[in-house]
Amino acid sequence: MADKQIYLHAGAHRTGTSSFQMCLAVNRAALEAAGFDLAYPGRDGIPEGQLGLRLPSLRHRRDKDAFFAAKVASVLQDHSPDPNRRLILSEENIPGPMIHFEQARFFPAAAARAEALRSGLGPVAHLVYVVRSYGELYVSGHRKRAEDRPVNPFATEIPVRMRMDRGWPELIEVMRDVIAPARLTVVEYGARGRSVDLLRLMVPGLEQVALREPARTLNQSATDAALLALQARYQAGDVLSRAEWQAVVQEHASDTANHGFAQFSAAQSAELQRRYDADLDRLDALEGVTLIRSP
């Protein structure tokens, strides 16, 4: 589908991706009437989320690339078979999961995954990616992971996070060079605004489409008290269903005190912020990339 217009929201994790996908869901009828097909996953109970992209991981041999490209092409055919209709696709796991942060590796399978996506999807008209400061990203990711499984104490993870092998500029270079979108926009988390604003930024021609911001808030982090209670249960061997761990989160929602569940020292936070600020400057200098920074 070489002439098909595809608009790709590729994440990142912990930057309001689920809220953006809920925005697509609540505006589905208006977007479809305007000539757009939609593809997004159904995590967090997002209505009509049917996207299930299969992309290679580190364990897959490169001779499987054609297999994954065919899987992507099949997904594209399922979600948007008409070459004359435009497609809006949102998936935060395109560069890979955050699990590799535990080995100080920043999305190490991104290139192979981007190649499979490009081969199966075809040309992308506009790719939008939201970035967040490293300190906030690492803390938020650790907290989210701790909701549904046992995790190591954050203090033991800090040395690994501080020596991460690369960062946002290297990842965005992969997306630019491998996916090769006609336009690539990187938005700093603090400049993201509402989900409808991000959608209008990504997709031209929506000025006359009445869009609604979703009323439902998604993917809110648990309080320290909830995470400590959950980890006590996981460490004791409990296995909790989604409904069970969410009940614990709600039970402790009113205790918003800082119990030190996951935090860097002031010096560590300052170092990560320096690294992030320098990387924003590097992103701003990348050819073919538009960076929208926080005020």
The reported pLDDT for the residue numbered 218 is 60
Domains by residue range for the chain, with CATH: 6-149+165-219+276-292 (3.40.50)
Separation in Å, CA 123 to CA 117, 234, 284: 10, 44, 24
Place of tokens 């010096």: 267
The reported pLDDT for the residue numbered 294 is 95
The reported pLDDT for the residue numbered 215 is 84
Q: How far apart are CA 3 and CA 83, in angstroms?
A: 7
The reported pLDDT for the residue numbered 44 is 81
Taking only the tens of pLDDT, the chain with its 295 residues reads: 568 999 999 999 999 999 999 999 999 999 999 999 999 999 888 999 999 999 999 888 877 789 999 999 999 999 999 999 999 999 999 999 999 999 999 999 999 999 999 999 999 999 999 999 999 999 999 999 999 999 999 999 999 999 999 999 999 999 999 999 999 999 999 999 999 999 999 999 998 999 999 986 665 679 999 999 999 999 999 999 999 999 999 999 999 999 999 999 999 999 999 999 999 999 999 999 999 999 9
| Three-class SS of the chain | CCCCCEEEECCCCCCCHHHHHHHHHHCHHHHHHCCEEEECCCHHHCCCCCCCCCCCCCCCCHHHHHHHHHHHHHHHHHHCCCCCCEEEEECCCCCCCHHHHHHCCCCCCHHHHHHHHHHHHCCCCEEEEEECCHHHHHHHHHHHHHCCCCCCCHHHHHHHHHCCCCCHHHHHHHHHHHHCCCEEEEEEHHHCCCHHHHHHHHCCCCCCCCCCCCCCCCCCCCCHHHHHHHHHHHHCCCCCCHHHHHHHHHHCCCCCCCCCCCCCCHHHHHHHHHHHHHHHHHHHHCCCCEEECCC
